[in-house]
């Protein structure tokens, strides 16, 4: 608050740690746009469902501290869970209409946990701008709607997906994969690009496009287990039946112990 009282712009990059180049790219973007920069590191328990990987989520606190400092963070905020949630915590923030599909369908409490913890971080840090990655496109759309609907004076900025040289979207959960699984995983992106070409070349039936992509993955990524393949409106995250304007193709696929997300915005 003291920084804001001085008229300084304050950037915020919320993370769950185990920094890779995707995280540091978010930090770099915020650093370039703000006078002061806060990076938060908090593995939020309320966005994990039963039998998810909360207890095994990868961490490297010392390495994260070094990377945050190297990339220009003025403050690294890493609270304990009991500092963020009282034992009788009973207040939640939800954007239910945007959370019905994609990740929200198989992880029903996830976005409630995300919105609640991000609201808490916004209240604590009082940022001018906050940066989130587009790999979690649905999350980004939900947070933009939350900020708009609750009149929060914060600009939400999306950063393009950061990828490995072979196209795999960077994720802390990539560390869960074996060498064999890691070698196969770039098919997620490669087949999304093929789908985009099909749509640009005239495919307009969403069901046919999704069926084609699922069949493609069964061939190129046979070890993968599809959570969802969906074509949705980019802002409201509503499934489309006929592709008549820009559409987001989004997938979540289990490869071994890793649940991998990716998406591509297809301009029609």
Catalytic residue annotation:
23
- Give the tokens for residue 204: 């307009």
- 72 annotated ligand binder: no
In sequence order, what are the residues at sequence separation of 6 or more whose Cβ sits closer than 8 angstroms to the Cβ of residue 211?
A: none
Phi, psi dihedral angles at 256 (to 5 degrees): 60, -130
Cβ burial 206-223 (10 Å sphere, 16+ → b, else e): beebbebbeebbeeebee
- 147 annotated ligand binder: no
By DSSP bridging, strand 10-15 and strand 36-41 are parallel
Residue (of 107, 121, 105) closest to 51 by Cα position: 107
- 16 annotated ligand binder: yes
- 74 annotated ligand binder: no
Specify the residue for token string 């789908």: 195
- 190 annotated ligand binder: no
- 136 annotated ligand binder: yes
**3-class state of residue 116 by DSSP:** helix
- 223 annotated ligand binder: no
- 174 annotated ligand binder: no
- 133 annotated ligand binder: yes
Distance, CA of 224 to CA of 255 (rounded, Å): 5
- 139 annotated ligand binder: yes
Binding-site sequence positions for beta-alanine: 47
Binding-site sequence positions: 16-23, 47, 133-136, 139, 162, 170-173
Binding-site sequence positions for (R)-pantoate: 47, 139
Binding-site sequence positions for ATP: 16-23, 133-136, 162, 170-173
């Amino acid at each position: 608050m003291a920084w804001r009282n001085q008229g300084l712009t304050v950037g915020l990059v919320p993370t769950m740690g185990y920094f890779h180049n995707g995280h540091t790219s978010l930090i770099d973007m915020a650093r370039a746009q703000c006078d002061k920069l806060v990076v938060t590191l908090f593995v939020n328990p309320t966005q994990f469902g039963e039998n998810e990987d909360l207890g095994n989520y990868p961490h490297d606190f010392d390495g994260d501290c070094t990377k945050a400092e190297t990339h220009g963070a003025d403050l690294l905020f890493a609270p304990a869970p009991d500092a963020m949630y009282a034992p009788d915590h009973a207040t939640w923030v939800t954007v239910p209409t945007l959370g019905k599909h994609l990740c929200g369908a198989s992880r029903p409490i996830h976005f409630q946990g995300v919105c609640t913890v991000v609201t808490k971080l916004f209240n604590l840090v009082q940022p001018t701008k906050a940066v989130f990655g587009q790999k979690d496109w649905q999350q980004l759309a939900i947070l933009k709607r939350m900020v708009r609907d609750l009149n929060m004076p914060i600009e939400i900025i999306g950063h393009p997906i950061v990828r490995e040289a072979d196209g795999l979207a960077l994720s802390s959960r990539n560390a869960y994969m074996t060498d064999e699984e890691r070698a196969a995983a770039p098919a997620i992106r490669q087949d999304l690009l093929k789908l985009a070409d099909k749509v640009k070349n005239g495919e307009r039936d969403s069901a046919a496009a999704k069926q084609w992509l699922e069949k493609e993955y069964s061939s190129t990524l046979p070890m993968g287990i599809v959570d969802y393949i969906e074509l949705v409106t980019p802002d409201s995250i509503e499934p489309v039946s006929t592709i008549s304007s820009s559409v987001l193709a989004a997938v979540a696929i289990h490869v071994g112990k890793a649940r991998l997300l990716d998406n591509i915005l297809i301009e029609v």
